Amino acid sequence: MQHHLLGIEGMTAAQITALLDLSERHVAANRAEEKKSALLRGRTQINLFFENSTRTRTSFELAGKRLGADVINMSVATSAIKKGETLIDTAMTLNAMHPDLLVVRHPDSGAVALLAGKVDAAVINAGDGRHEHPTQALLDALTIRRRKGRLSGLTVAICGDILHSRVARSNIHLLSVMGARVRLVAPPTLLPERAGVFGAEIHHDMRAGLKDADIVMMLRLQTERMQGSFVPSIREYYHFFGLDRTKLAHARPDALIMHPGPMNRGVEIDSEVADDIHRSLIREQVEMGVAIRMACLQYCLGLSDGENGKVRGEDA
């Protein structure tokens, strides 16, 4: 039985916990010398990326290969999309080749769900416009849970360009379902108009927003999604919203720093904090990305290395 993974919205705490638990086993396997298993042997995975990506595409590729699947990468530059083929035509063409999994990234919100409705394969959303990026939120949750031992009761400050961020949206849903307190810290121009509907606390000042936070999650200023100007200048943005030691001092003394990457050093984050091995989880987030994506591939195919052949939590 295949499942699509299109977003965190609508997922239950039990489903999320099951995915995190499943990923834990892959973390260990990924650190071993022999990394390959045969769980997805004979399955075909196509990574279809209509937007540039380094870590997400690479980690989906590694995840599939480590589970023994045949993995094919298609990127816009080399595909028929450049020749004018529509999203749906591309989906139908690929569908005819009987892939089991399609991992899709697209610049338009909703495009991945549209495609999922047309194909037989299980579809995983690797980021659609500013809508959702479910595997990023899951890998963030795994990283936090491994360090802090829990998600529930933690205060997580998500800071920066929330308006354009699918990472923020998926994280807000996930953290809320898992019982964390979410704060959104940004200038009013970089917050969605109805940011309040998410049930998060809103702050326009880093000091107040970071006060007693357990996790400080920084977001990239997504200039490619901006039409017009959203910040007066990069210098001013860095001054008020860039994370440096002084601003970090308002968070809890054991607060940890996260960033989904790619980072704009000196814009939303200072190198001194980004590279602080005691406080920064950025490298670990990348490592957890592979394990999470392995678990998601399994989940979508209804496969588990457990006894009953089911991914726990799926019926909850």
Which residues are near ligand NCD by CB under 6 A? 55-56, 127, 133, 136, 166-167, 220, 222, 260-261
In the complex with ligand NCD, the residue whose CB is nearer, 43 or 131, is: 131
215 φψ region: left (φ > 0), alpha (ψ -120 to 50), beta (else): beta
Q: Do 1 and 302 form a contact (C-beta atoms < 8 A)? A: yes
- 55/211 with CB nearer ligand NCD: 55
Nearer to ligand NCD, 16 or 258 (CB): 258
Q: How far is the CB of 227 from ligand NCD (least distance, A)?
A: 17
**Shortest distance (Å) from residue 65 CB to ligand NCD:** 19
Shortest approach of ligand NCD to residue 105 CB, angstroms? Answer: 8
Helix 134-148 with 166-177: angle, nearest 10 deg: 50
- For ligand NCD, the closer of residues 220 and 250 by Cβ is 220
Minimum gap (Å) between residue 134 Cβ and ligand NCD: 11
Alpha helices in the chain (DSSP H): 13-31, 55-66, 87-95, 111-116, 134-148, 166-177, 206-210, 234-241, 245-248, 271-274, 282-301
The CB-nearest residue to ligand NCD is: 220
Burial letters for 136-151: b for 16+ Cβ neighbours within 10 Å, e otherwise? bbbbbbbbbbeebeeb
Shortest distance (Å) from residue 167 CB to ligand NCD:
5
